[in-house]
Amino acid sequence: MSRIFDVAVIGGGPAGLAAAVSASENGASVALIERESRLGGILKQCVHDGFGLIRFGQKLAGPEYAERYIELLKNTKTEVFLTTFVTAVKKADFGFSIAIVNKEGISHIDTKTIVLATGCRERTSKQVLIQGTRPSGVFTAGVAQNFVNLLGKMPTKKCVILGSGDIGLIMARRLTLEGAEVEGVYEVKPTPSGLTRNIHQCLFDFNIPLHLSTTVTRVFGEDRLNTVEVAQVDEKMKVVEGTERIIECDALILSVGLIPENEIAETLDVKINNATKGAECDQTYMTSVDGIFSAGNALNVFDLVDYVSESAQSAGASAADYQGTKREYIEIERGKGLLSFVPTRLDILGKLDKVILFFRAARDMDKAKLILKINGEIKLEKKFSYLRPPEMQRLELDLQNYGLDGSSKVLLTLEEGWN
């Protein structure tokens, strides 16, 4: 009979690394499967610093942060499968059978549980509907980052960046440092999508203009992009006529959002949350399918890699502990003021004393208050001086003394204004 792992982790980025280390440290036999030839995920191409302040109390570059976990992994008995692509997962009597493809051909890894740590993917030009021709020179910010930081190639001499997500902001600075001209960053919303510190350190410190409530409406060029048209939008996101402007450039770089990568989860009928676009999960990071856990950006697009590792460490430990014992769920309802949060459900038969809640506000709020109601009664209030949607918040909640049962209604809301 073939070997059955206790835990198989799919994805060898920071989430997969932390999940594998933690599952192993909790006594499980672990397989870590990564489609690329090196571990580290997206961190391999993030050469700037700022990673690890919470986890290691140090400002590390992306590859340095990944290396810390790769070293920890070496101290475990985790079996690592590199250049190995997971193509399908099927339920089996013992748990799950994972179909993999690598240089040896097609085979299977059998496991009792799975941690999905497949990261996220970038929205492309197809998803933001820009009109015009279809020239080369339209890149996502992550692709441009890969060109510059891993391949040593410059994708542009003069570009426009659409979207003020963090990767776009970081690339605005990176391309400027490498000698390109970044004409400006254009954001359709009235507020930036990236972290405030990135707006200052990547744009304002380099005199790169940020144009809010403005978007790219058209691209021009035959083989290669040579011009884009930008225009202001009103509060309904409709183009304000007469504000159109033509900019000559050779590239349009898109930083218009990340979507959790959940193709494998969907084939297993894992329920996907509308707000996070990741799996519905409980406080142990188990999804709606018994034995399948989710962590990192596959679960929820985190702003800090430190939180990616924290969620994955818990998911790995939970997968190692998994015994198939009975669970009973209640959903957490998303009230006004909240964009998204995890966990989205609670197993009321499980541990409720240290529930880690990650959440984002739906809009900029000053003097905000997070309110937790159970059956209509306020049980917990937490004040924040300000909240911004790009900045994820982390809170530890003790929910064990609220007498939660299967009929409890749990509601989270954010309100503005306190004295």
Ligand X SMILES: Cc1cc2nc3c(=O)[nH]c(=O)nc-3n(C[C@H](O)[C@H](O)[C@H](O)COP(=O)(O)OP(=O)(O)OC[C@H]3O[C@@H](n4cnc5c(N)ncnc54)[C@H](O)[C@@H]3O)c2cc1C
Closer CB to ligand X, 254 or 368, in the complex: 254
Among residues 7, 46, 160, 355, which is the contact residue for ligand X, using CB under 6 A? 46
Closer CB to ligand X, 11 or 95, in the complex: 11
Among residues 137, 192, 296, 316, which is the contact residue for ligand X, using CB under 6 A? 296
Closer CB to ligand X, 122 or 347, in the complex: 122
Site for ligand X in 214-273 (CB under 6 A): 258, 261
Per CB under 6 A, 43 contacts ligand X: yes
CA distance 406 to 331: 10
Based on DSSP, count helices (H) and strands (E) in the chain, helices before strands: 7, 28
Q: Is 68 helix (H, G, I), strand (E, B) or coil?
A: helix
Per CB under 6 A, 300 contacts ligand X: no
Write the CA distances from 39 to 23, 74, 144, 233, integer angstroms: 17, 12, 20, 42
Query: Shortest approach of ligand X to residue 302 CB, angstroms?
Result: 6
Residue 172 in contact with residue 206, Cβ under 8 Å?
A: yes
Tokens of 106: 């097609």
Per CB under 6 A, 14 contacts ligand X: yes
Q: Which stretch binds ligand X (CB under 6 A): 30-38, 67-75, 154-162, 332-340?
A: 30-38
Per CB under 6 A, 80 contacts ligand X: no
Contacts of 177 (CB under 8 A, 6+ apart): none
Q: Are strands 120-122 and 258-260 parallel, antiparallel or unpaired?
A: antiparallel
**Exposure pattern of 276-309 as b/e (b: 16+ CB <10 Å)?**
bbbbbbbbbbbbbbebbbbbbbbbbbbbbbbbbb
Closer CB to ligand X, 91 or 367, in the complex: 91
Query: Shortest approach of ligand X to residue 248 CB, angstroms?
Result: 27
Among residues 7, 8, 9, 15, which is the contact residue for ligand X, using CB under 6 A? 15
Residues at the site binding ligand X, with contacts judged by CB under 6 A = 10-16, 33-36, 41-43, 46, 85-86, 117-120, 122, 142, 145, 166-167, 170, 258, 261, 296-298, 305, 308
